[in-house]
Amino acid sequence: MPLVLSLETSTDVCSVALHDNVKLVAQAEIHEPQSHAARLSPMIDQVCREAGVELKSVSAVAVSMGPGSYTGLRIGTSTAKGICYALDIPLIAVGTLELLAFQANSKNASKSLLCPMIDARRMEVYCMVFDEGLKIIEPVSARIIDAGSFAELLEGNRMLFAGNGAKKCREVIRHENAIFLDDLYPQASALGLMAGKKFRAGQFEDLIGFRPFYLKEFVAKKAGGGM
């Protein structure tokens, strides 16, 4: 069976998982912002040791492709690409919002619409809307959230909001059909399940051309507030 190594670095949480087909063999997770660069490689070693396998036995590497933290996505992608190049194995990518929707749907007993949200800045989020079958209702976008956001959808549907972007929207989107999931964040353990399906379908990325989906490019500000 294929061994798929999954790396999730799109938010402040960093996680690594190893799946043998659909079986989770080992996982590691840290909740330390801005620690991905220092901790990701040791976590990969830890997961391989716990599983009792060598890294060279891995069949593919999966990575969360964004949107999300610019720095986190770059670290995850560069690490995944490095392993794939070294071992001559395929790269698998899963959209971060699709991953969040997949995770949220396991808690969706009411068969609500799903709206995963990644925090951008101020009242802006990166989001999508899915139905309970994970069919896309609204494509990925960057939205400024206010009291009228999603009003048309909420009038006729329950909506389940999830992700670190949803936390700051709880006090703004006040509607009886709006449900907020607390403490749901992208995890490598779920990423590996989605990646396994892509592996079996042969859905791999172009290793040379692949880059994360930032949605918005990073803009560095100069000291003193200038651009």
**Comparing C-alpha atoms, which of 30, 7, 3 is closest to residue 17?**
7
Give the helix/strand (H/E) hosting 205. none
Task: Give the residue-averaged pLDDT of 33-50.
Answer: 94
The reported pLDDT for the residue numbered 220 is 43
Beginning with the edge strand found earlier in the chain, give each strand of the sheet holding 60-64 in spatial order: 23-30, 14-20, 3-8, 60-64, 91-94
Query: Is 190 found in the same domain as 176?
Result: no
Which residues, 6 or more positions from 81, have their beta carbon under 8 angstroms from its beta carbon? 91, 207, 210
Which residues, 6 or more positions from 2, have their beta carbon under 8 angstroms from its beta carbon? 20, 21, 59, 60, 196, 199, 200
The number of folded domains in the chain is 2
- Encode pLDDT of 121-149 as tens digits: 889 999 999 999 999 999 999 999 999 99
Query: Is 35 found in the same domain as 9?
Result: yes
The reported pLDDT for the residue numbered 182 is 84
The reported pLDDT for the residue numbered 223 is 42
Query: Is 120 found in the same domain as 59?
Result: no
In a domain, 161, yes or no: yes
Query: Is 57 found in the same domain as 34?
Result: yes
pLDDT tier for residue 171 given thresholds of 50, 70 and 90? confident
Query: Is 192 found in the same domain as 129?
Result: no
E strand map for 38-123 = 60-64, 91-94, 113-119
pLDDT at 219 over 80: no
In a domain, 58, yes or no: yes
Q: Judge whether 50 and 42 are in contact, CB under 8 Å.
A: no
Rounded Cα–Cα distance for residues 164 and 125 (Å): 9
- 0.75 surpassed by pTM: yes
Query: Is 176 found in the same domain as 129?
Result: yes
In a domain, 16, yes or no: yes
Query: Is 18 found in the same domain as 85?
Result: yes
CATH, residue 132: 3.30.420
In a domain, 27, yes or no: yes
- Encode pLDDT of 106-122 as tens digits: 999 999 999 999 999 88
pLDDT at 218 over 70: no
Provide the residue range defining the domain that includes 126.
108-180
Query: Is 9 found in the same domain as 92?
Result: yes
Task: Give the residue-averaged pLDDT of 11-40.
Answer: 94
Task: Give the residue-averaged pLDDT of 38-54.
Answer: 96
Rounded Cα–Cα distance for residues 55 and 160 (Å): 38
pLDDT tier for residue 217 given thresholds of 50, 70 and 90? low
pLDDT > 70 in the chain, percent: 95
Task: Give the residue-averaged pLDDT of 160-177.
Answer: 93
Query: Is 196 found in the same domain as 165?
Result: no
